[in-house]
Amino acid sequence: MLMTERLKGANSVVEKFGRIFLVATLFAIVSVVLTACGGGTSSNSSSGGMDPNETAATVNGKAIKNEEVERVFKMQAQGQDARMSPLELANSRLQVLSGLIEQEVLFQKAEKEGVVPTDEEVTAELNKQKTQSGKSAEQLEKEMKDAGMDDATVRLQLKKTIAIQKLFDKITGKIEPPKDNEIEKFYEGNKEAFVKKKGVKLAAIVIDPANSGEGDVTVDQASAMARGDEIVKQLQAGADFASVAREKSEDQSRFQGGDLGYASEEDLRQTFPGDVVEALMNPKTEIGKLFITRAQGKFFILKLQERSDRDEALTLESPGVRQQVTDALISAKKQLLQAAYQTIAMSEAKIDNMLARKIVANPNELSGARPAGIAAPANANSNANANAGAAPANANANSNADKANAAPNGNAKPAVNAAKPAANAAKK
């Protein structure tokens, strides 16, 4: 998705009260397969001399094998591991293992609390993610194979993710909504964040000429243009925009009936051609008008739903603002509580990290570090933080963040980094 009703104001300030304690969720592992990582495994990279059947670490006696570490590492590296130095490879694998250890600690806690999902729940969530990926069964099977995963592995990872999310839901379930004076204090201290910039609210039907595999009816420019013409005729004949978007849009926004949310004029200029933006912002342009344009290699059929011609200071009584502050404060409290719980769980667990022991015991085997001043390969940073793909504990934190970032209509759109004031999302 190209736009979202984004928070900077409320959430950036709220982050002072609570931190996101793990960078990513285990859902990222599943999403790597279900939403096209395109990386797969690298046949050229070294496994660092690791025996796949050897134990990398134990958590309360439960073994984590090198094979699992390597699989997650390969998915995170996305083919760039062949360009990494031995030192970078060792660091990345150690970070992946740290994430897997945290995952196992929390999953064991979830088992004790009796919140492990049933097979039916796992199946339902897996089917949901497969549907949202927009890929055929053949595509998904191939990508899973390329990523070194089979259906059983994906199901197990998803089972752990759901279990940990349920665990955190249980832990944070007793958090009470902030009181009015807490909401008002936050608002008064951050009034500058609550400004709705001039801009528009859009819906879109997106047509992607790229061939995404079996079942894709738009595989090139010609077929995309033909489908666009067909859709425009449908709309001009009176078809409901949201219904057509749900049926024919090739973008995640289709699940919200094509709703892209509210975007400032500045955001629009970063996405769409200048003449389209000028037309959208023109006070003479009627609400409901359709625009056909191209951006980022895709065709967009845009529907103008709302326009604000000037910046507007919002109050707690403005639609959505009070709820948005409430959601953001609750999210921060949940993140802090989750972080505290995880700290306790990790301190109570009996962990033996054999991989770390080997590194300490053999410090001179880590040769080939990249000298200062030489650029790191693409994705090196993500590789160095490869625990992002293995760490599940942020599953609920991400869910909370989505809620906090959601517009009053409930459409949370995660594709764009939070960069704009909360108020941009607060009013439809």
What token pair was written down for 121?
């729940």
Check pLDDT > 80 for residue 66.
yes
pLDDT at 212: 60
Q: Positive or negative CA dihedral for 229, 234, 236, 240?
A: negative
158 phi, psi to nearest 5 deg: -65, -35
**pLDDT per position as a tens digit, 266-305:** 999 999 999 999 999 999 999 999 999 999 889 999 999 9
Over the Cα atoms of the chain, what is R_g? 24
What are the chain's domains?
18-175+321-398 (1.10.4030.10), 198-310 (3.10.50.40)
pLDDT tens, 174-216? 999 999 999 999 999 999 889 999 999 999 999 988 766 545 6
Which position has the higher pLDDT, 415 or 149? 149
- Tokens representing 345 are 């769980």
Burial class (CB in 10 A: 0-12, 13-18, 19+), 176: exposed
Q: Which of 379, 409, 285, 297 is nearest to 2 (CA)?
A: 297
Helices assigned H by DSSP within 258-372? 265-271, 274-281, 321-348, 354-361
**pLDDT band with cut points at 50, 70 and 90 for residue 252:** confident
pLDDT (0 to 100) of residue 426:
38
CA–CA separation, 414 and 304 (whole Å): 21
pLDDT digits (tens, 9 = 90+) for 340-378: 999 999 999 999 999 999 999 988 876 544 443 344 444
pLDDT given at position 36: 39
Nearest Cα neighbor of 175 from 329, 396, 323, 339 is 329
For 148-181, the pLDDT digits (tens) are 778 888 899 999 999 999 999 999 999 999 999 9
In sequence order, what are the residues at sequence separation of 6 or more whose Cβ sits closer than 8 angstroms to the Cβ of residue 50?
56, 66, 69, 70, 93
The pLDDT score that the predictor gives to residue 60 is 98
pTM: 0.65
Q: What is the pLDDT of residues 72-104, one digit of tens each?
A: 888 888 777 788 888 888 899 999 999 999 999
**3-class secondary structure, 63:** strand
pLDDT at residue number 364: 81
DSSP letter (8 states) at residue 54: S
Cα–Cα distance for residue pair 207/294, rounded to 1 Å:
9
Q: Of 55-64, 402-411, 412-421, where does mean pLDDT reach its minimum?
A: 412-421
Q: What is the dihedral of CA 315, 319, 322, 324, to 10 degrees?
A: -120
Backbone dihedral region of 220: left (phi > 0), alpha (psi from -120 to 50 degrees) or beta?
A: beta
pLDDT of residue 370: 44
Judged against a pLDDT cut of 90, whether residue 119 lies above it is answered with yes
Six-digit token pair at 339?
A: 């972080």
**Residues 298, 252 contacting (CB under 8 angstroms):** no
Max CA separation in the chain (angstroms): 73
Residue 9 has pLDDT above 50, yes or no: no
